[in-house]
Structure 1
């Protein structure tokens, strides 16, 4: 009944839907619910210790029977830059003084570990059916070990050039991440340094411009991601040649996600025009709902130090503001279609989206 079955048959899933792995926003609970609904469940691993990854995979296997996607980052860590971090604290000092805090109390940033031998050993032992990567691919020897487990490898591309590179270097499926997508941009060929990031982001295509060009450019299945919030978007992705969709913001408001009540409240007020690509929260471009610090400093301020260190100096401010019920310094990740995100549990929403998309596709075919 689906116009394109490659993703369904290759991954042995019921619906051509991938629940996006969202570091800090989901664990096995959401992956289990999405899987039970017929989608590919995903667990983000970049911020998890090996023991935690193992526990989450065990929990998924105990409560779901579908395939599992483990997601990892492939960024090149930036060397510590004490001068940049000191300048960042100085830039934030007025906010610290207002909150009665000492800028020298900034906490270490949350670690995001790039894929390495330790994580590869985990993959070899846990044998997830799918392994996906953000910010490119790991070095060839590590990737070869992943593929030797039999896992399907997926990776995100934000441009046609990145999609071609991923296809040439071993990715089995390409995730076409348009500029509308929430959370971190998967860009890895684009220059996203502080002094060039605005130009790089200004040139990146949206989902429905990128998908058909990627489909034409590579001999790999393409998954559409970004700005898809209901059956209309899924049907449109198929019309442009995608074999499925990846949804993140769609699941953020579900009870299975890990986001805060403040983040949930912000999502409830989301509009088409109140999210921006910003580097303030990590040092790397990511789409968030606009809040006080973004308005005050500008979303792509060069003052923020390189990924992933920017968040450390914001942590005390975030904690103080959230204690008062405000998200002034919080990373409120969301895509441009956040206002379309429905309410309900992830399993029900997944199955409903599949049913509604099929009905829409059938109606279009009968015209």
Structure 2
């Protein structure tokens, strides 16, 4: 992966809203590509995050953004009352006020975020849910910024390549967090990593990074045997002390079986893989989920308070199907285990 300036072709999965400077820097310092997810970050916070990352590491790192796919709900365009009523008992239980009124925005403007990333000049801009506009791709290239796109199907990988990506992440449904599909509904784009990977390798002429279900040297070896140029790993790193995951979240990952995670829209309104806890069960039973990103706003204060209290039952516990393979609590140990599976 010399194209991305890496000594070791291991990429940290970008945790939207759960990234930490310490973990990003640890992976970059080890010779891989540390990634920092900027979901929900306004421009000023993006600039500050890039500054902190450069203080923490002199190695390449990636900044990650979510692209709009056109189904995003805006304030005033969606009725969230049913979703709010559904979670009101949980807010009352914690004794915190539920969100009221209508915010000016549910999330920052993507164009403003892209401008901030271009100004920050990371080594890599990684994108999920599609690719940036052509003008942004050209602007990134003129600044020496590489672009990595993500795909959950072969058709998406071809589209990402055509849009100017330098590399593509083939993301299988085993992966934790959001399913980043953008051409068809996520429920119609559920392809496993080791079925998706070789088909993407055959379909595109840019490096392919395998993601989903990879947590140890065996997964790395399998990915490279199927043609991967690199691997992207999230859950195994999420369980380390350098991550921004809460102690309750990290504890929940230990000993988790492969069939203990679920795909749900309960937390954000978009399909994502995580541990089924009381928050997920309550929202799904109520059958009142607001569209993305309104649902994130509906449950956001609840999740934040649960996180503050160390209550894993009411947090978003993102996790992939490989969580049971997570054995280390230090990022350097995870990195060394993964690197042991690389071709010699």
Fold shared per TM-score above 0.5? yes
Return the TM-score normalized by structure 2: 0.90
- Assess if the C-alpha contact under 8 Å between 1:73 and 1:114 holds in 2: no
Q: Distance in 2 between matches of 1:323 and 1:43?
A: 22
Q: Distance in 2 between matches of 1:329 and 1:106?
A: 23
What's the counterpart of residue 284 of structure 1? 270
Alignment of structure 1 residues 265-284 onto 2, 5 Å = 265-284=251-270
What's the counterpart of residue 196 of structure 1? none
Q: Distance in 2 between matches of 1:134 and 1:263?
A: 24
Q: Secondary structure at the match of 1:88?
A: helix
Aligned with 2:229 (options 231, 238, 243): 243
- Assess if the C-alpha contact under 8 Å between 1:107 and 1:316 holds in 2: no
Question: Is the radius of gyration larger for structure 1 or structure 2?
Answer: 1
Query: Is 1:48 equivalent to 2:41 in the alignment?
Result: yes
Query: Is 1:170 equivalent to 2:155 in the alignment?
Result: no
Query: Is 1:295 equivalent to 2:281 in the alignment?
Result: yes
Return the TM-score normalized by structure 1: 0.85
Q: Distance in 2 between matches of 1:292 and 1:106?
A: 26
Query: Is 1:187 equivalent to 2:181 in the alignment?
Result: yes
Q: Distance in 2 between matches of 1:281 and 1:109?
A: 21
Query: Structure 1 stretch 140-149 or stretch 255-264: which is displaced more?
Result: 140-149
Query: Is 1:39 equivalent to 2:32 in the alignment?
Result: yes
What's the counterpart of residue 16 of structure 1? 9
Alignment of structure 1 residues 5-154 onto 2, 5 Å = 7=1, 9-75=2-68, 76=70, 77-81=72-76, 84-96=79-91, 111-113=106-108, 115-116=110-111, 118-154=112-148
CA distances 1:177-222 after superposition (whole Å, capped 9, x unpaired): 100111111111113xxxxxxxx42551011110011111111211
Q: CA deviation at 1:110?
A: 9.4
- Assess if the C-alpha contact under 8 Å between 1:106 and 1:312 holds in 2: no
Q: CA deviation at 1:74?
A: 0.6
Q: Against the structure 1 CA distance between its residues 45 and 100, is the aligned structure 2 distance closer, same or farther, given a 3 Å change threshold?
A: closer
| Aligned residue pair count | 342
CA-atom RMSD in angstroms: 2.6
- Assess if the C-alpha contact under 8 Å between 2:21 and 2:56 holds in 1: no
Q: Against the structure 1 CA distance between its residues 316 and 61, is the aligned structure 2 distance closer, same or farther, given a 3 Å change threshold?
A: closer
Query: Structure 1 stretch 335-344 or stretch 99-108: which is displaced more?
Result: 99-108
Q: CA deviation at 1:335?
A: 0.5
Q: Secondary structure at the match of 1:273?
A: helix
Query: Structure 1 stretch 37-46 or stretch 344-353: which is displaced more?
Result: 344-353
- Assess if the C-alpha contact under 8 Å between 1:278 and 1:284 holds in 2: yes
Q: Against the structure 1 CA distance between its residues 353 and 306, is the aligned structure 2 distance closer, same or farther, given a 3 Å change threshold?
A: same
Q: CA deviation at 1:298?
A: 3.3
Q: Distance in 2 between matches of 1:254 and 1:93?
A: 33
